[in-house]
Amino acid sequence: MEKKAPLPLRWLRAFWYLLTAVRNVVFNLLFLLLLLGALLLWLYSPQDQYPQGAALMFNPDGDIVEQHSEPFLTDTISGRSVSQETLLRDVIDVIDHAAADPKIDAMVLDPKQLGAVGISKLRDIGAALLRFRDTGKPIIAYADAYNQSQYLLAVHANRVYVNPMGHVWLDGFGIYRQYLKNALEKLSIQFHVFRVGKFKSAMEPFLRNDMSADAKEANLTYLNVIWQAYKNDVASLREFDAVDVDTYVNGFADLLAQHDGDAAVLALNFGLVDGLKTRDAFRNDMIERVGKDKDDKTFKQVGFNRYMQMIRPELEEKAAGRSRVGIIVARGIIMDGKQPPGRIGSDSLSALIRQARQNEAIKSLVLRIDSGGGSAIASEIIRQEIELTRAAGKPVVVSMGSVAASGGYWIAVGADEIWATPTTVTGSIGIFAAFPTFDQSLQSLGINSDGVGTTRLAGAFDPARPLNPLMAGAIEHTIRRGYRRFISRVSEERNLPSETVEKIAQGRIWSGENALAIGLVDHLGGLDEAIEAAARRVDLDEYGIEYIETPLSTRQLLLHRLLRFFSVSTAPPAMLPGTLPALYEHVVENDLTLLLRSNELHSPLAYCFSCGLLQ
């Protein structure tokens, strides 16, 4: 007679059989669901997912950028990664596709989710909106209230409406930074700065308590160009004089008093909007215009993100199997080595340029630059890669975005042709280096640094020790040599006498409009014009467009999503009182990012900190 197993063992065996059966059932169900999903995807027709005669909801979410960025952990702690990002090219693709889409009858411009966006990008989007209007399809803008960026898009609409409790807030452009000289003295921190260029004011916040007269002159010059462009766009589209915009901004308090504090009525009477409507009234007007949706709750519509996903396969198909113009986006701080999207690495960007050069289907290359600069060495390495591409017979055309200054301009001079928008911030031809020492701070805490070395330069880059005079002399020579090389590059590539370049250099910032007048750029225009120029250089009448990008690894994708999830659960510094959020954003993010995240504290930098405020 077979001996029975102990009762606990029989229970464990039964439980195991049950677990196996459940596992098989669950996995079989999952497999069936996957098969069903694949079948649905195969049968899915995106063109059938929105009704005939619908309105496109133009409601891009977050910052408008040239390239998605991978957030830092410090960004998530600060709340900076809470903001979503929408690619500029996606925005323009959606508008242009909808203009030719027979199922789209109108556009509703809803800018309430719009984040940070430079004026050059706004004007590129505005040009696409006007192309949409030229087809005869109307654009209707509605918002509870408009800020300055949102309103510049809204003026491109046929009709502009605002909530009766809303307003139109315009305040012009300005650069205001926090200056830390007194604070650093109280903390006994020494910031040793080496620079060349009368207008190279990048490190002023660490050396002064106010903005220098030279910096004010340079900043105000290009700010006036940008503000004039803004006023001209608003005035021409709203059919009044540009000076009226200044009257509205500078006399805002008095004008409000004349309208009993009613900002919406003021905007209406001033001609900034065409009517005041509640959300419900606007919804009913749109129902009369395009009809109700299938649920009878609102008007027929398709959202921006949904529409983008629907048209993406068609956009990708257009580039397949044709001669192409390659586009590489260079966005962010320029640093050494490999860098993720949102930063420019000398190795990673050079690899993309090399990839375009070796791709036979890509006949010419457009480099889209949106950068205030960074490492001078990294900038030169990238320029050398552009030079190799041109020598191989492939033209390179640079298209400047909102900013292409300092190291960003160093890269640009290597191209056959440079395009900038009138409001692009460029130039800033200058070099600097910075090195902080904390020896006095540590001594105040009773901490002293001492030791021995085999040479007079041993331990020269130890921030716990005083600045080594030999190292200081070496850096000074390096900076001056780097500045002369920068001047030489611009002189050779732009065919300008060195004396002329010297006069327009000195770290001075120029608008694209002024840069054209002094020979720093070749043409005024956006990305589309640069692409056409690149195609003309190789006699292409019909061509596709291919963005050349480094795909994110699985680790990067996972990290990106985790950080995005983490960021929405973290209180941003905006919760802090007083000016601490502004101090964090303008000083820590804009001024210390390059210095503290780079491994090149002792290397020459070609960077424009003020430019980042306008991206």
- Strand partners for 509: 427
* Concatenated DSSP letters of 488-505: HHHHHHHT--HHHHHHH-
Q: How far apart are CA 308 and CA 54, in angstroms?
A: 15
200 has catalytic annotation = yes
Residue 264 or 558, more confident: 264
Which of these is catalytic: 406, 441, 567, 598? 406
Q: How far apart are CA 205 and CA 123, in angstroms?
A: 31
* Concatenated DSSP letters of 442-454: HHHTT-------S
Q: Examine the pLDDT at 352 and tell me if it is beyond 90.
A: yes
294 has catalytic annotation = no
Q: Examine the pLDDT at 226 and tell me if it is beyond 70.
A: yes
The pLDDT > 70 percentage for the chain reads 81
Q: Examine the pLDDT at 67 and tell me if it is beyond 80.
A: yes
Pairing mode, if any, of strands 190-196 and 431-437? antiparallel
Domain boundaries, the chain: 49-168+273-310, 321-445+462-614
Question: If you search the block for the tokens 């090219």, which residue do you land on?
Answer: 89
Tell me, what's the pLDDT at 122? Answer: 92
Q: Which two tokens stand for residue 508?
A: 């001075």
The CATH code of the domain at 49-168+273-310 is: 3.90.226.10
Q: Identify the burial level of 586 via C-beta atoms within 10 angstroms of its C-beta, where 0-12 means exposed, 13-18 middle and 19 or more buried.
A: buried
Q: Tens of pLDDT along 517-554? A: 999 999 999 999 999 999 999 998 888 888 998 765 55
Tell me, what's the pLDDT at 584? Answer: 37
pLDDT confidence bin for 378, thresholds 50/70/90: very high
How many other β-carbons are positioned within 10 Å of the β-carbon of residue 590?
19
Q: Examine the pLDDT at 160 and tell me if it is beyond 70.
A: yes
Residue 201 or 73, more confident: 201
Q: Decide: 150 and 114 in contact? Cβ < 8 Å.
A: yes
Q: Examine the pLDDT at 573 and tell me if it is beyond 50.
A: no
Tell me, what's the pLDDT at 297? Answer: 83
pLDDT confidence bin for 3, thresholds 50/70/90: low
Amino acid at 366: V
Average of per-residue pLDDT values in the chain: 82
Which of these is catalytic: 200, 277, 363, 394? 200
Q: Which two tokens stand for residue 34?
A: 């996957």
Tell me, what's the pLDDT at 195? Answer: 73
Q: How far apart are CA 483 and CA 405, in angstroms?
A: 14
Q: Decide: 328 and 352 in contact? Cβ < 8 Å.
A: yes
What is the average per-residue pLDDT within 179-201?
78
Measure Cα distances from 505 to 63, 409, 426, 508 in Å: 31, 11, 11, 6
Q: Tens of pLDDT along 110-122? A: 999 888 888 889 9
Q: Decide: 84 and 67 in contact? Cβ < 8 Å.
A: no
Q: Examine the pLDDT at 150 and tell me if it is beyond 90.
A: yes
How many other β-carbons are positioned within 10 Å of the β-carbon of residue 405?
33
Cα 390 to its chain centre, rounded Å, is: 27
Strands (E), 489-556: 509-511, 523-524, 544-547
Nearest 5°: the CA angle 14, 17, 20 is 150
Tell me, what's the pLDDT at 418? Answer: 97
**Range of weakest confidence among 24-38, 137-151, 205-219, 441-455:** 24-38
Domain 321-445+462-614 CATH class label: alpha beta
Asked if domains 49-168+273-310 and 321-445+462-614 share a fold, the reply is: yes
The pLDDT > 90 percentage for the chain reads 42
Q: Examine the pLDDT at 409 and tell me if it is beyond 90.
A: yes
What sign has the CA pseudo-torsion 508, 514, 517, 523? positive
Q: How far apart are CA 381 and CA 335, in angstroms?
A: 11
Residue 476 or 49, more confident: 476
Q: Decide: 303 and 347 in contact? Cβ < 8 Å.
A: no
Cα 340 to its chain centre, rounded Å, is: 14
